[in-house]
Chains A and B, each alone.
Chain A
Amino acid sequence: MSDGTNQRFTETPLVRRKQREERFAQWLFFAMSAAMIVPLLLIVGYLVQRAWPSLSLGFIIDVPVRGMKEGGIWPAFIGTIYLVVLSLAVSAPIGILAAVYLNEYARDNWFNRLINLAVINLAGVPSIVHALFGLGAFVYAARFGYSILSASLTLAIMTLPVIIASTREALASVPRSFREACWNVGATRWQTIKAVVLPNSISGILTGVILQVSRAAGETAPIMFTGAVFFKAVQKGDLFPYNFNEQCMALSMHLYTLSTQVPGVKESIPFATAVVLLGLVLAVNAAAITLRVWLRNRKKW
């Protein structure tokens, strides 16, 4: 080995500087992404620690007693499920069908650009404004009154644009060549959508919808104005305690009232309520991830 080749691979100051920069950059990016874990752990840890004395299965299925100062959260828990299920039952079909139209049929003209603009802007409207709209439109104009129906419809309008956006993304991930192959053999657009597009985008569509569960469950303002109530007497563990034209309790609203409106609540109860709400949301997200992984493993190309 000659001296010449040896020297070609020696560390020069330039090389050392590049290595230093590389190490720093990698460390910085890693630190920033690792920092994401810290708030989550702190939130969950703090909540669970403060909530510990009240946490039990009984806490979920018991009803509040002694002016909500003690007892469980069943009416709020089941109320949140009512609101989420009903609102997504409305917004998921509408959102998915609208997204199919926008992605598969719509030509690029002024009307469809207007629809796109509307979807984007609707997604940017603050939830308190949705709440006022729901109050005017559903509670008063449509005469649904303060009810589960009004609150769910308000939540549906709030989640709709996001469902449309996520569904369009899922549809757009199906390669265009599949569609062209179908069109070439004389399939209509609907036959193409049915046979190829929907079966291959369903995982993304469902994930998008399920992620809206956590948003619908967590929002307070829209339901506070339209259908959630301070207290409602309900049987312990009753699965169908509400009618759609009645008001209901909800976890997010319950947490707010316990923390600010009721004096002398046992200290761990609001924290336990928060843990249940958080647990519900995380459980749903975990289900969405599981579903996505399962469906992705069955992906066909």
Chain B
Amino acid sequence: MPADTHVEVRDLRLAYGTKEVIHGISFDIRRNEIFGVIGPAQSAKTSLLRCLNRTIEFSPEARVSGSIHVDGEDVRQVKDLYGLRRKIGMVAPLPVGLPISIYDNVAFAPRCAGLTRKGDLDDLVEQCLRQAALWDEVKDRLNSLGTKLSGGQQQRLTIARALSHQPEILCLDEFSIAIDPVTTMRIEDVLKELRKDMTIILVTNLTQQARRLTDRTMFLWNGEIIELDRNAVIFGDQPGDKRTYDYVMGIFG
């Protein structure tokens, strides 16, 4: 595997019960790239992310085969599952502020990992909230509840929480569907900063967002890869597959 490959997926299949939703896909994600995943609903984008950090195992009827390697290590063989999940930051489509204080929301993951020194935690919480473009709005009320924030603030809190365990890969699953365009742009700027430190997987329904942000984009449809290429190709006049062109141009189906 080439040195700059961060995630390597080979012949991944996923079935819920007898219904197969991912039909044997293979692709690589390079280190420090922003990797876009686009595709209509039901194309197994979210399931793919859940395979990556193995939260798919919380769906008892899910059956996974094939392999996913992160840094050359097979995720299905890892000894420290919780360490794996901390290595991969995950931001869900709908913002979830946990019903604990804003500070505790961000300090939760580091505490679970065993970090307890107050000073270290304070620094980390501030750093993550700054990275998520939320610090200025909440610095005076870190003890109020995370659930009391507005939707857009909660989504940035979710991002701060995902950064709090210092992941090497950050997965964003349609992070912008619950927040306004201005906040979305601020977070997009944040992502451009973060890519220096980590690999970013961006699942999005907004093809323009993928075009703006990503280096390469994968078009997933019904659990199969239609096309995976550089943005210039995917969003260009002549992508490799006509369906890609139709989807990106919004004349799909």
Residues of A at under 8 Å CB distance from B?
107-108, 177-178, 180-188, 191, 195-196, 199-200, 300-301
Contacts and interface: CB of A to CB of B under 8 A. Distances in A.
Nearest to B91: A184
Nearest to B109: A185
Contacts of A300: 99-100, 145, 147
Decide if the interface of chain A is mainly helix, strand, loop or mixed: helix
B58 A185 contact: no
Contacts of B145: 300
Given A177-B94, A180-B58, A300-B147, A186 B100 contact: no
A34 B72 CA distance: 70
Contacts, number: 72
A196 B55 contact: no
B249 to A, nearest CB: 34
A185 B85 contact: yes
A199 B100 CA distance: 9
B55 to A, nearest CB: 6
B176 interface: no
Interface residues of B, number: 30
A186 B99 contact: no
A177 B155 CA distance: 13
A189 to B, nearest CB: 10
Contact of B99 (A107, A187, A196): A196
Contact of A177 (B58, B84, B92, B112): B92
B55 A180 contact: yes
Contact of B96 (A177, A188, A195, A199): A177
B161 interface: yes
A186 B6 CA distance: 20
Contacts of B53: 184
A252 B183 CA distance: 65
B211 to A, nearest CB: 27
B98 interface: yes
A195 to B, nearest CB: 6
Given A186-B85, A186-B109, A195 B100 contact: yes
B165 A186 contact: yes
Interface string B53-67: 101001010000000
